[in-house]
Amino acid sequence: MEAKAPYHHGALRRALHDAALRLIAEHGTDAFTMKQAATEAGVSVAAPYRHYAGKAELLGELAAEGFDLLTDRLRDAGTAADPAEALLDLGTAYLEFAHEHPAHFEVMFSGRGREPRTAEGNAALAVLREALERLEAEGRLRMRTDAALRATWSMVHGLAVLRHGGMRTVAADDPAALRAEVLEPVLRGGLLR
């Protein structure tokens, strides 16, 4: 009798990530289960546990993946020579990321039911900090960098959360001038000299 070969999915981790993201987008972070993710990925209920101790670990990896994607997006966006322009571009990129990756966004900014992933989140914030430090080096920042970091992130994140919840804030189809007009008050009104 021939021995049965062990089951091998090949890309189980990616399939589970994609399945979980679809379920989160449809039902929310709290509503999906590992069993649903396995079914959605087309594998046995036990298969996810080859990679994850449980749902919290899977959610932690999805959050880390989301922060990595956000960091890459921000690095690509914040390249303008003028740091104030770079800051506006970073805000727009943040809003676009949240809109394009709603399931990642939800997991990234909800600590409920997942392992914390601080390093990845800090890497995304570091990109914003760099733009603010450039402004500070030019003598254009009105407050300390740490305070400016929190104020800037809070404003843009608030717009992203409102939009994520279905409210009209700043949309990708808005003209660039309108997007800048919405984001600019934080610069002119408090951050910049």
Count Cβ atoms within 10 A of the Cβ of residue 39 and give its class: 0-12 exposed, 13-18 middle, 19 or more buried. middle
Q: What pLDDT does residue 182 have?
A: 75
Angle, in degrees to the nearest 10, between helices 12-27 and 34-41: 120
pLDDT at residue 155 tops 80: yes
117 pLDDT band, cuts 50/70/90, is: low
Residue ranges, comma separated, of all CATH 1.10.357.10 domains in the chain are 55-191
Indicate the average pLDDT of the chain: 86
Q: Which CATH superfamily is domain 9-52 in?
A: Homeodomain-like (1.10.10.60)
The arrangement of secondary structure in 55-191, i.e. its CATH architecture, is Orthogonal Bundle (1.10)
pLDDT at 21 over 90: yes
What confidence tier does 180 reach under pLDDT thresholds 50, 70, 90?
Answer: confident
Query: What's the burial of 94, exposed, middle or buried (CB within 10 Å: 0-12/13-18/19+)?
Result: buried
The first and second tokens of residue 102, run together, are 């709603």
Segment 6-34 shows an average pLDDT of: 85
- Reported as type and span, the H/E element at residue 14 is helix 12-27
Instruction: Check: CB of residue 77 under 8 Å from CB of residue 92.
Output: yes
Higher per-residue confidence, 31 vs 93: 93
- Would the pTM count as exceeding 0.75? yes
- Where, residue-wise, is CATH 1.10.10.60 in the chain? 9-52
Rounded to 5°, the CA angle 9-11-14 comes to 135
pLDDT above 60 (res 13): yes
Question: Bigger pLDDT: 2 or 39?
Answer: 39
pLDDT of residue 50 exceeding 60: yes
